[in-house]
A and B are shown apart, each in its own frame.
Chain A
């Protein structure tokens, strides 16, 4: 008895395209990965050295919550393998790879409490700032900004380049001509086969595009950092983490925002982004110098009648006592000038009680748009960053 003849279904390419059946589940999975990253962002910011890294750099991010658990045996469960040669008892035949595959099993085995995924810093930053906005962006005098490489449709033209050919409009033009010709009793151009009514050059219709300009608010961000000797490595690290977040955030969200960096100890100067994030300095602290310089920059380049100005300052608060009145006065002035003025005090745990603080001093400052945050450890960086940007919206 021979089996009934088997059937062969040929390959259907259209079926192959349609059959991207996993698309929905893949999207859902990626969504879960993103959610998991977002939930763990405080840890990632605290643990990863993302500061000053290239935006294309790939970071390993732990993913929790989307592992699939089952009841399984623990690691000390014996297994059987086969060898191509004799092995002896007690012989070490290999190493367990970190998170990769163990012999004969899929990499999906338990043992590690979470698994990692690779994201580029760019993606990470995007996920981090998804729901944050610069507070109170006012529509000050708008400036016409060329939105780069963007254009919009504006009607049709009878001439144009091939890629702009609008097939639908072309066919309509031809149909119009055909109907008109029929009504007129003719059949179209005389040299043509009467059965066919062909396209004519005059039917060709092209989409017309004009470069787009759109108004955009002007915004400038002034980053002021204390680089005095009392800012030890840890404090600088925390301050830079904070500014790094701020800088990445602004870059992600606002293409046309200008950023100025001010580093100060007893004197202040404007520095480049590179210097700001990578260079250390030493000396005493005159906070007023930084504010003074910031006000000068604003005066010179970002007049508040035209610009939304944001100023952020990070310091350990260890200011010369004699400078405090001046600092307070200038802070008041900055708050009056800027949309938002934020002060972050870096006080690693344990140092709080024997060092002076500007927080108490700034408490006297009366301004709605002045915010202070206290950063005590790496874990605080992300929450205080969010607080700074979110608080103001709550006021609004």
Chain B
């Protein structure tokens, strides 16, 4: 790249950035930066940034994919990759220019502050994240190496567990019901519809061995770590972008760097036509809350309260107003055949619906909610699941394949109640394979 730099440069710029971070009132965990090359970066990306992670072929697959895209120049590598841990870890790619390093450092402090202060991340136990992942990796390796288990058995459980990992409680602040006695006083399992599918399978299938239960716990825990990030993507990226802009605007960049910054910053927040750029959407909403549209105006301290309390859904619902929806030219689209067709635009009648659609397509809202209703359906220990249909149909093919995974872990027949094209259906998977039949409403 244009100018050479060394660690001393990074330290010098970091000092200036941290001074601004403190002045702006951001409150961060200690931060560690690691300089890496693009091979290491690809490796970190494939394993969600974790320095240690349990092995599974799917990570090899994602590495190959990332590498192919990178090698052919389809995508670049991200400037920043931050781990939500205490101390927080971030990676700097050594081939990047000095400006990109400065930009990344500033951006990382934004994320760091967010991780530390946002309510969604309470309970992620950032002090133990790295150790937890490491311990999980060690346990899974020991199962792989155990001659009585082996890689095929471990993969068989992990494949199934990965498929079901996101069938869990999305809002960790809401506690599940614990009483086993139902309204009629009869004992039933589960007491109330249960969203934590992996944990349910772990706790209620007596045929699983300990190591299989452990694998389910591990996959569940790993998912729990990522859910807060998924639930705050727009806020988090918007927040980091909002602050890197203000930091870099206030640290007296030399002209050359300043120009490169403007170019890079605009690349980051460029709206992607026909899609949504969370950096852009988030930044615009934060600017609206802060009451600023440039760098020099004072920031409304309300932003700190919002970054502490909200998650994406609340953030978008409360702060994405009609004016902003229109300014961003948001619209709703759907795929018809192989065409992408606009179905609603942000006019006076439509903007609210556009926002509703957006709310349902961000974070875990884009994933179907499926609850365990009964573990002893028809008295045959069949597992009865219910898809909480909200107007969006499941992909039947994916449902069939995924039910096979539930069956693999439950080891008895599994049924899933859902709705397809307006009709109640019962999808079943058992020893004789997959079946799809209309649901006789009188029995339910």
User: Which residues of A line the B interface, CB within 8 A?
Assistant: 1-11, 13, 15-16, 19-22, 24-32, 66-96, 102-104, 107-108, 110-111, 113
Contact = CB atoms under 8 A, between A and B. Distances in A.
B33 interface: yes
Interface size range of chain B in the complex: 35 or more
Query: Which 5 residue pairs are nearest across A and B when measured between Cβ atoms?
Result: A25-B60, A104-B275, A103-B275, A29-B60, A26-B60
Interface in B361-404: 361, 366-368, 370, 387, 392-399, 401-402
B232 to A, nearest CB: 18
Contacts of B342: 87-93
Interface string B266-287: 0000011111110011000000
A179 to B, nearest CB: 46
Contacts of B281: 82
Contact of B333 (A21, A75, A93, A107): A93
Contacts of A86: 329, 345
26 contacts: A2-B22, A3-B30, A3-B31, A8-B33, A9-B32, A16-B36, A22-B47, A22-B59, A28-B57, A70-B402, A71-B370, A71-B394, A74-B394, A77-B334, A78-B343, A79-B361, A80-B331, A80-B357, A81-B333, A82-B281, A84-B271, A89-B343, A89-B345, A92-B339, A93-B333, A103-B340
A82 B271 contact: yes
B295 to A, nearest CB: 21
B334 A71 contact: no
Given A68-B163, A80-B331, A73 B345 contact: no
Interface stretch (B7-15, B202-210, B257-265, B431-439): B7-15
A344 to B, nearest CB: 35
A95 B33 CA distance: 41
B340 A21 contact: no
Which among B22, B33, B342, B368 has the highest number of chain A CB atoms within 10 Å? B342
Nearest to A103: B275
B183 interface: no
Nearest to A69: B401
A92 B157 CA distance: 43
Contact of A87 (B11, B56, B329, B395): B329
A92 B339 CA distance: 7
B64 A26 contact: yes
B30 A4 contact: yes
A8 B30 contact: no
Given A80-B357, A110-B398, A22 B22 contact: no
Nearest to A108: B65
Interface in B325-358: 328-335, 337-345, 354, 357-358
A375 to B, nearest CB: 31
B125 interface: no
A110 B37 contact: no
B19 A2 contact: yes
